[in-house]
Amino acid sequence: MREAFLRVGTRTVAALVFLLLVAGALVTSTESGLAVPDWPLSYGKVMPPMVGGILYEHGHRLVAAGVSTLVGLEFGAIFFFFERKRKTLKLLAGAAFAAILLQALLGGLTVLFLLPPAISSAHAALAEIVFALTAVVALMCSKTWADLTKAPPDIPFKEIPSSPSSSSAENISSKGEETCSAFRWVAIATAAIYIQIVLGAVMRHTGAGLAIPDFPTFFDSWLPSLSVLSRPGVPIHLAHRLGAVVVVLLVLRAAKSLSGVPVPLLAALGPSWAGLVCLQAFLGASSIWSSKAVPITVAHLALGALCWVTGVLALVCLGACRNPSNALSSARRA
């Protein structure tokens, strides 16, 4: 009962953090970030009239207040009532709470300092960390995690016979190598996604989203000229476009390596992840074709967050499988 409550609660918190990200995307996409010029109050009130851009900005603040409280409660529940022995889980829940508090402070500062790109971009980058932390907490409270980290019932990993005649040992060893290889590729791809998200945040907050107004061409040319590169916003925009190519290639490679992992859930995750990233690239192009239509830019940001968290969750699961004893049990289950 207690575990079920924790499972549902942590998943709900992670989903609400995602909702908070979408609310933040609505603020930037509708350019409502300064519709409320004061902070922490809004026009000196707790509840101003929800008109125009205030609906998005104050709505984001209200969602943030609610979600921050829930992240705090999650941390409290994990720390004091539920998971007395799981240090990592407690640490992650505490980090999520600390990060969301810092996030609130950055949100306030960016309003008070009129959206300086450095603070606004840091706000966007930290939001992804908060989402990842709450998602990992939810994963670590799930049945999937319990299965992944279950100790092998009989012999420890090091006692497995390593003679060439033992085909099962060879098979296990090969599966372990595939898991390690997948871990490396997923780690690289996930890091690339995060860098790409930060580049996107800087592009968005420096107003460079349409610095190159056409796609896939660059100012009606297939290769950007040097004179074009000196235009404001073009370098960061170009970096985000090139980053997208790198991310798609890396995720496709990581997805391929995931298919060899002896955990059915992770093996199945590869194609979904690759599909998400390809759709994300299409949304990026669509945001240019539509001159930054609000629904498309919001969807682009939301899907970017999902791609990132998918990578993080896959990485954490692979990390658990990479543990020799867990790898053995996973291989046996496979």
Partner 1 sequence: MTGPAIRFRFAALCAAALLGTALLTGCGGKDDEDEDRPKSARAGASKEGAAKDGAAATSAPAASSAAGPAAGATGAASITGKIVFEGTVPAAEKFKMSADAFCAKSHPGDVSREDIAIGPDKGLANVFVYVKSGINGTYPAPATPATIDQRGCTYHPHVFGMVAGQSLEILNSDDTLHNIHSLPEKNEAFNLGMPVKGMKYTKKFDRPEVMIRIKCDVHGWMSAYCGVLSHPFFAVTAADGTYTIKNLPAGTYTIEAWHEKLGTQTQQVTVGAQESKPAAFTFKAGA
Please report the sign of the dihedral spanned by the C-alpha atoms of residue 228, residue 234, residue 235, residue 238. Answer: negative
How many CB atoms neighbour CB 66 within 10 A?
13
Instruction: Report helix, strand or coil for 269.
Output: helix
Contacting positions for partner 1 (CB under 8 A): 30-38, 43-44, 48-49, 51-55, 57, 114
What lies within 8 Å, CB to CB, of 73 at 6+ separation is none
- Closer of 44 and 164 to partner 1 (Cβ): 44
Q: How is residue 167 written in tokens?
A: 């085909």
Nearer to partner 1, 32 or 120 (CB): 32
User: From CA 318, how far away is CA 266, in angstroms rounded?
Assistant: 8
Rounded to a whole number of angstroms, the minimum distance from the CB of residue 21 to partner 1 is 21
CB of 57 to partner 1, least distance (A): 8
First to last CA, the chain: 29
Residue matched to tokens 């959206």: 115
293 backbone dihedrals φ, ψ, rounded to 5°: -60, 135
The DSSP result for 112-172, as a single string, is HTT--HHHHHHHHHHHHHHHHHHHHHHHHTSHHHHHHTPPPSSS-GGGS---TT-HHHHHH
Distance CA 322, CA 318 (A): 6
Amino acid at 194: Y
Residue among 31 and 147 whose Cβ is closer to partner 1:
31
Pick 26 or 312: Cβ nearer partner 1? 26
> Smallest distance, Å, CB 24 to partner 1?
15
Write down the least CB distance from residue 7 to partner 1, Å. 41
Check: CB of residue 125 under 8 Å from CB of residue 292.
no
Instruction: Name residues whose C-beta falls within 8 Å of residue 226's C-beta, 6 or more positions apart in sequence.
Output: none
Among residues 52 and 275, whose Cβ is nearest to partner 1?
52
Minimum gap (Å) between residue 60 Cβ and partner 1: 13
- Compute the least distance from the CB of residue 34 to partner 1, in Å: 5
Cβ 116 to partner 1 shortest distance, Å:
10
Helix (H, G, I), strand (E, B) or coil at 42: strand
Q: How many helices (H) and strands (E) does the chain have?
A: 11, 0
In contact, 153 and 328? CB cutoff 8 Å? no
DSSP symbols for 192-213: HHHHHHHHHHHHHHTT-TTSS-
Closer by beta carbon to partner 1, 94 or else 117? 117
By beta-carbon proximity to partner 1, the closer residue of 81 and 113 is 113
Least separation, in Å, of the C-beta of 228 and partner 1?
19
Give the shortest CB-35-to-partner 1 separation in angstroms: 4
Comparing CB distances to partner 1, the nearer of 123 and 241 is: 123
CB-nearer residue toward partner 1: 108 or 319: 108
